[in-house]
Structure 1
Amino acid sequence: MVLIMVQMRLLQPSNRGRPATLPRLIAGLLYLQYAFDLSDEEVVIGWVENPYEQYFAGERYLQTEVPRDVLSLTRWHKRLGEAGVEELLAETIEAAKRRVIKASSAKRVIVDTTAMETAVAPPTDSRLLERCRVHLVKAADHFGLKVRQNYNRIAGRLSSQIGRYAHAHFKRMKHALRTLHSRVGRVMRDVERQVESFAEQSRNTLRELLDRTKRILGQKSKDKNKLYALHAPEVECIAKGKAGKPYEFGVKVSIPRTHKEGLVIGARAMPGNPYDGHTLAEALEQAAILSDVTPEVAIVDRGYKGVAIDGIKIYHPGLRRVISRTLRTIIK
């Protein structure tokens, strides 16, 4: 914890302005947040109600109020970045190696990928078009642009009609969708004609919104690399073959963990929804760096079939017929 505090303290800004929140408090809150899968608001509320969590985060006396600016943990997330989060994970691995696991446990790992879902609404065409129109109208009001018609009443009615028509009235749904598409295009062109009259910073903000709107207006149902959320362009559609949830919207993440104890020794986002086998080498490299132990055996599922890495034995369920009974038990 001392090492984490020193490294996080180096990330604090200069002496100008209000001092940042104490690194010890932030480190404790981040650990509690990920240990119990809590949001920023939930972890702060639990911290106020639980004296044990306060003591864990460095407080010496009982606190009855939320610390200053702790609700904006997002800024600390950005300040830490990928390297800072990896340092936190490496410190938890070192703590586990002292009391919970043996260092040799990291030589045999299980590697799998999952979808890290993003908080986005179902990305239907009507919803995306309506969100584009709403954001364009708000931007026009904020920057003082004149829009000939904002279609607040018509577009809202069309969006609700499309949701009802989708169950049986497909021709009516397509007609309403085309109408909404044309209305959004009109608002976009009204804003686009007036962009050049603004300063560079404001112009860049509007350009970014216009580019995303054009992308949504131009994409088709069968296109690749579609935009699924106006506020989060990094969101991808991931199909993991689940019966209850065929498609998930977020970013693919590779997670290596020890085979015996199940301790997570790595976590890395894999943007672009790559083939699982192409992520294995990067995941094992990160696990070796964070745990200071080079994996020798990797147990994976059939999604990694066909991949080979020098110096590492890779086992997957497709090998059960040609391996020993002991290895067959390990793969299970």
Structure 2
Amino acid sequence: MCKEINDFPSNSLHMGLIWMYQYVSHRENQLLLPDDFFLPFGGKLNKENRWAKLAQLVPWAYAEGKYAKSFRNSFRGQKAVSIRVALGALIIQERLQLSDRETVQQIVENPYLQYFIGLEGYQDHPPFHPSLMTHFRKRLGEQVLREINEIIAVEAAKTTQDSDRDDEPKSGTKSKGKRTARRRSTSEEDQNQGVLLVDATCAPVDVAYPTDLNLLNEAREKLEDIIDTLHAPLVGHARKPRTYREKARKQFLAVAKQRRASGKVIRRAIGKQLQYVARNLHIIRNLVSRQPLTLLNRKQYRDLLVIQELYRQQRIMLERRSHQIEDRIVSISQPHVRPIVRGKAKARVEFGAKVSVSMVNGYAILERQSWDNFNEGVTLIEVLEAYKKRFGFYPKAVLADQIYRTRENRAFCKTHSIRLSGPALGRPVQGEEAAEQRRVARQDASERNAIEGKFGEGKRKYGLGRIRARLATTSETVIALQLLVMNLERRLRDLFVSLMKQLFAVKLPGSQTICVV
């Protein structure tokens, strides 16, 4: 039974309130059956739910036309999963940051997610097997997702620009028609409009921090497994070659367990591991002369090819006493990953794909991504031409960091009357003009923070900070998909804000309207 108020100790009082717990009866504490659970929506979904709203923002028809091209025109075989299910499941996965299996489980448990992927009614069994998620990523591909994202971003950016023009303060009602006509004529004359933000970042993959010693040890262990596979048919007929695996393992651990091994000690350990790798490669060549390589599975054969290139690179770097080489391999399981030197405070070098992004009115568009490092400054002219193709005009201003301010980019922007952020070339100005330039520079820097914040949002919330896909193509698809999800969420927020403005708009005398939110 529950105690009386006076029976509680004095320390149970907090901020003038008395906290107490009331025991429930044995009948009320029984487990409620699923059939007895009350559904507040009475068998109908809420139209204001975020997934119901989000389903109206995706161009499903356009995506279906691109998705259908990845299948053969044949009546044989199993019926393919629709684009609504495939793309919807990928959006759910990236939005909620789930694994393949957990994504399917969430769809089974949530009727709103089932509506989002296009099911006609609620079902308590999985709509597809989790293994199909990999095929969804492969069939859609990076290019299709980039086109879908571009449609959403451009349409949303144009809508935002139009709403911003409508929200401009007006001094009176008589000149309203003249200003509208002047605005239309300005658009017809194809003058520059809008502000473009450009920047690049790295999307790190989910790999351990690579060191030369760890890579060579992993390569040696994989080669030992390949030797065991190739020698298996010869057991009892030929003597197994010696690999000294135990001795090599002890030598590796003797250095790897040191907290602060000197460069001389690490270099000597790398040299020893290279000798073991070279010995194992020589053994494999001898075994291949008697046994076919078809004994190896697909993964082992792929690892063998990667390790041969890894051995060549590590041997050259050891002889040159260098840590740099072209197309350096930093992961045997993901040989497409390259080190991207960024010079950031958190990590000077990141391992993943370099991504160049442009942003207009808060919507990000993927311009270029590559596993090899590239100078993002040379892509500015290409980005400006893409902006004109999307919107029909060049931007008024481009907000970018110093790497984009090359002479070629400055000349192109000057020719097309585009203001490029940053100080102008030549002798510094003095007086009021200098103060005005400093004010504009501060304003540009504050506005350019939006694209940095967009990168932070993608890395903290949408998985851009750790790409968990394994293949190069699927990793590129995931990056494009994450930007698509970010734009959909931005579009959803903008629609909510515009709805709130309409609901709480107050009409004041003198044709002035204020919004109370």
TM more than 0.5: yes
Query: What is the CA-CA distance between 1:29 and the residue it aligns to?
Result: 2.0
Aligned to 1:264: 364
SS in 1 for 2:88: helix
Greater mean alpha carbon deviation, residues 180-189 or residues 146-155: 146-155
SS in 1 for 2:333: coil
- In 2, distance between residues paired with 1:323 and 1:67? 59
Contact 1:267 / 1:283 at 8 angstroms: preserved in 2? yes
Letter in 2 for 1:269: Q
Letter in 2 for 1:213: L
Query: For the aligned residues, what is the CA RMSD?
Result: 3.5
Aligned to 1:96: 156
Pair 1:73-2:178 in alignment: no
Written as runs of structure 1 = structure 2, the 5 A alignment for 1:311-326 is 311=416, 313=418, 315-319=420-424, 323=437, 325-326=439-440
Aligned to 1:123: 210
Pair 1:12-2:105 in alignment: no
Contact 1:188 / 1:213 at 8 angstroms: preserved in 2? no
Letter in 1 for 2:66: Q
Written as runs of structure 1 = structure 2, the 5 A alignment for 1:1-332 is 1-13=60-72, 14-93=74-153, 96-97=156-157, 100=160, 102=162, 107-144=194-231, 148-165=241-258, 167-168=260-261, 170-195=263-288, 198=292, 205=302, 208-220=305-317, 221-225=322-326, 226-258=328-360, 261-289=361-389, 291-296=390-395, 297-306=397-406, 307-308=408-409, 309=412, 311=416, 313=418, 315-319=420-424, 323=437, 325-326=439-440, 328-332=442-446
Query: What is the CA-CA distance between 1:74 and the residue it aligns to?
Result: 2.9
Query: What is the CA-CA distance between 1:40 and the residue it aligns to?
Result: 4.0
Q: Which has the larger radius of gyration?
A: 2
Contact 2:104 / 2:130 at 8 angstroms: preserved in 1? yes
TM-score, normalising length: structure 2: 0.55
- In 2, distance between residues paired with 1:185 and 1:3? 53
Letter in 2 for 1:223: Q
Distance 1:210 1:180, change over 3 A: closer
Runs (5+) with no aligned partner, structure 1: none
* Residues paired across the two proteins, number: 329
Runs (5+) with no aligned partner, structure 2: 1-59, 164-186, 235-239, 425-432, 447-517
Alpha-carbon deviations, 1:172-214, whole Å to 9, x = none? 4443332222112111221133446636997975762353333
SS in 2 for 1:3: helix
Contact 1:118 / 1:250 at 8 angstroms: preserved in 2? yes
Percent identity between the two aligned chains:
25
TM-score, normalising length: structure 1: 0.82
Distance 1:137 1:79, change over 3 A: farther
- In 1, distance between residues paired with 2:377 and 2:295? 42
Distance 1:22 1:131, change over 3 A: farther
Query: What is the CA-CA distance between 1:155 and the residue it aligns to?
Result: 3.5
Distance 1:248 1:99, change over 3 A: same
- In 2, distance between residues paired with 1:122 and 1:327? 38
Distance 1:115 1:107, change over 3 A: same
SS in 2 for 1:67: coil
SS in 2 for 1:159: helix
Greater mean alpha carbon deviation, residues 221-230 or residues 312-321: 312-321
Query: What is the CA-CA distance between 1:256 and the residue it aligns to?
Result: 0.4
Alpha-carbon deviations, 1:69-100, whole Å to 9, x = none? 34343333232333212222123225525755
SS in 1 for 2:369: strand
SS in 2 for 1:20: coil
Query: What is the CA-CA distance between 1:129 and the residue it aligns to?
Result: 0.7
